[in-house]
Amino acid sequence: MNIGQRIKQLRIKNNLTLEELASRCELTKGFLSQLERDLTSPSISTLNDIVEALGMTLAQFFQEEKPEKIVFTQEDFFIDEKEGTTVTWIVPNAQKNEMEPILLEIQPGKTSFSLTPHEGEEFGYLINGKLLLVDGEKQYAIKKGQTFYIKGSNDHYLKNDGNVVAKVLWICTPPIF
């Protein structure tokens, strides 16, 4: 592990300048600069002071971070089948993200779950079939290849008023599914 690089990474992640971090751990800005460039090494005691100023323990500092997963395959997906609908979470644990994409399949004559008003926005792309978007008192017909974009300010849901399974990519921010 490159200690200096790790300190710099954590300092930047915590939005701290060299000066601010130096002040918090009672070191000089010059010493921290040399440390971050691997021109010097800290004692265990000094490293502990720096790490505490960064809000973590030595164990956490040396713990290897798991790389964030970027690409997901069908083996990662979570599927929930309910009467007339299938919800596929195509990005697992998306609650930790800013948006949550799902793949929703609605059988002919069935409706999706109804969402109550919430802060945020939703986007949908109809991959197959046709749907009726019910947003409060308004209804919008959506055909294959069309999209919708709504605020979460009304009760809303999707209804499959066609005769084939409707498949929609639905993305919500913040995550609420």
pLDDT tens-place string over residues 67-104: 788 899 999 999 999 889 999 999 987 767 889 999 99
Query: Which CATH number is 3-62's, of 3.40.50.1110, 1.10.260.40, 3.40.50.150, 1.20.120.450?
Result: 1.10.260.40
- Residue 17, pLDDT above cutoff 80: yes
Taking the C-alpha atoms of residue 12 and residue 124, their distance in angstroms, rounded to an integer, is: 36
- Residue 52, pLDDT above cutoff 90: yes
pLDDT at site 64: 78
- CA max distance for the chain: 72
Average pLDDT, the chain: 93
pLDDT at site 3: 93
Q: What global pTM score does this model have?
A: 0.65
Taking the C-alpha atoms of residue 109 and residue 134, their distance in angstroms, rounded to an integer, is: 14
Query: Which CATH number is 74-173's, of 2.60.120.10, 3.40.50.300, 2.170.270.10, 2.40.50.100?
Result: 2.60.120.10
Residue spans of the domains in the chain: they are 3-62, 74-173
Taking the C-alpha atoms of residue 130 and residue 136, their distance in angstroms, rounded to an integer, is: 19
- When pLDDT is cut at 50, 70 and 90, the band that residue 162 belongs to is very high
Judge contact between 36 and 54, C-beta under 8 A. Answer: no
- The structure tokens 């979570």 sit at 78
Sheet holding 130-135, edge to edge: 138-143, 130-135, 156-159
Least confident of 38-42, 122-126, 140-144: 38-42
Taking the C-alpha atoms of residue 126 and residue 144, their distance in angstroms, rounded to an integer, is: 5
**DSSP bridge pairs for 103:** 88, 169
Do the two domains 3-62 and 74-173 of this chain adopt the same fold?
no
Gap between the terminal Cα atoms of the chain: 39
**DSSP bridge pairs for 173:** 121
pLDDT at site 67: 78
pLDDT at site 93: 78
pLDDT at site 175: 84
- The structure tokens 């490293």 sit at 47
- Residue 133, pLDDT above cutoff 80: yes
pLDDT at site 135: 96
Return all residues near 152 (Cβ < 8 A) that are at least 6 apart: 115, 117, 118, 119, 120, 121, 122, 172, 176
103-118 pLDDT tens trace: 999 999 999 989 999 9
